[in-house]
Amino acid sequence: MLIPRLKSSLFTCPGEEGLLAYDSLSDRVHRLNPVASLICELCDGRRSVEEIASIVAPLLPEDQRRQTEELIMQVVEAGLLETSPAPAPMVDAAGLAKQLRAQDKLEAAYICQFHAAERDPEDANLWATLGELSHILGRREQARAAYERCLSLRPYDAEVRHLLIALRDEQAPPRADNDCIQQLYERFSSFYESNMLEELDYQAPQRLAALIAELMGERAGLEVLELGCGSGLAGAEIRGSCAHLTGIDLSSHMLDLARERGIYDALEQAEISAWLQACEGSFDLILACDSLIYFGDLREVMAAAASRLAPDGLFVFSLEFGEAAPYRLNDNGRYSHHPEPLRALATDCGLEVARLEQGYLRMEYGAEVEGLFVALRPAGRE
């Protein structure tokens, strides 16, 4: 009597119409129809072929019922089932998912990660990774479900809580909260530069530096403030024009990286709007390279920056472009902005647009991210 079971090398998860299955031995993803999916689910090592056939047969068209056992054996022959008397040792599904993701085999990684999370449902990290893979693959409902599960296990997780605002289609807050940004960059700091430069082809520092050079010419000896300085990628591009360069960042981990770069005269850990409001000095240049992508409503930070600009100064920053006006919180947790409302907001803050360009910002999951590169100056300046 044959008692089939899923191969130990096979990982499954729900698909649109049936199961998705990944065989780690053949390195193949299978899309199973509903009948094949049911057969696989019933093959748990406790039922014979005859018992499985008795369950499946009534669900088939009458003219196919006699071939049910043959259909089951076809699934065996396809390499999805095995009939060995004892189950093989379990494979590390989470570890395999990580390897597959590194090889850009995202669907296979997703299937294995789902298997890992289902097998260890109390591990919040497994659900968080499943949520991320779901998002990358455009499976929005699955991403929301995975992040919901993660948050139920880790209710203090500010980053996941922020992502769920978008995935639940709730009203977007004016900006990501401080805890979210700090948690994000604590995780991100260990691989930030390799990710941004080698994997994402990050162009914002160079784009903003070119914009500054075009508008400020060969001016040197500048008093410069960088908001959200990160590891110093943008600061390095403009250091040659600075008499004094101050970097502000909310993340102590990113400030450690900036300190190692050795280009800043001063570094402070602070929330940028609050720091600007408390500051008493003025700056020839205020730069925010990709730090405002965690702000939806830019009014507070723009007004604060305007109050600290020298009469001939510039406020230069990058944003992610979006079709929704004035802004939208996207499923990746970042805000995108439409360019037109920026002009009116600048006017309200006593500024005017010196330059507003749209163009390539970086790559993300194989697609180009469109950015806005903005330079504002005090209104009425010739």
Query: CA 286 to CA 314: how far, in whole Å?
Result: 6
Class of 195-378 per CATH?
alpha beta
Mean pLDDT for the stretch of residues 111-127: 97
Q: Is the pLDDT of residue 112 over 80?
A: yes
Measuring CA to CA, which residue among 299, 310, 190 is closest to residue 254?
190
Per-domain residue ranges of the chain: 5-82, 195-378
**Signed CA dihedral, 351, 353, 358, 362: sign only:** negative
* 39, amino acid identity: I
Specify the CATH architecture of the domain 5-82. Answer: Orthogonal Bundle (1.10)
382 pLDDT tier (thresholds 50, 70, 90): low
List pLDDT tens digits, range 192-201.
999 899 889 9
Same fold, 5-82 and 195-378: no
Q: How far, rounded to the nearest angstrom, does the alpha carbon of residue 76 sit from its chain's CA centroid?
A: 39
List pLDDT tens digits, range 147-200.
Answer: 999 999 999 999 999 999 999 999 999 999 999 999 999 999 999 999 899 889
Instruction: Kindly state the tokens that stand for 215.
Output: 């508008």
Q: pTM of the predicted model, to two decimals?
A: 0.89
The single residue listed with the structure tokens 């199961």 is: 19
What pLDDT digit, counting tens, does each position of 18-37 carry? 889 999 988 999 898 888 78
| Structural contact between residues 162 and 183, judged by C-beta atoms closer than 8 angstroms | no
250-290: per-residue pLDDT in tens?
Answer: 999 999 999 999 999 999 999 999 999 999 899 999 999 99
Q: 3-state SS string over 171-201?
A: CCCCECCHHHHHHHHHHHHHHHHHHHHHHCC
Half-sphere exposure at residue 44, Cβ-oriented, CA atoms within 13 angstroms: 4
DSSP state of 254: H
String of b and e for 307-325 (b: at least 16 CB within 10 Å)?
ebbeeebbbbbbbbbbeee
On the 0-12 / 13-18 / 19+ scale of CB atoms within 10 A, 177 is: middle
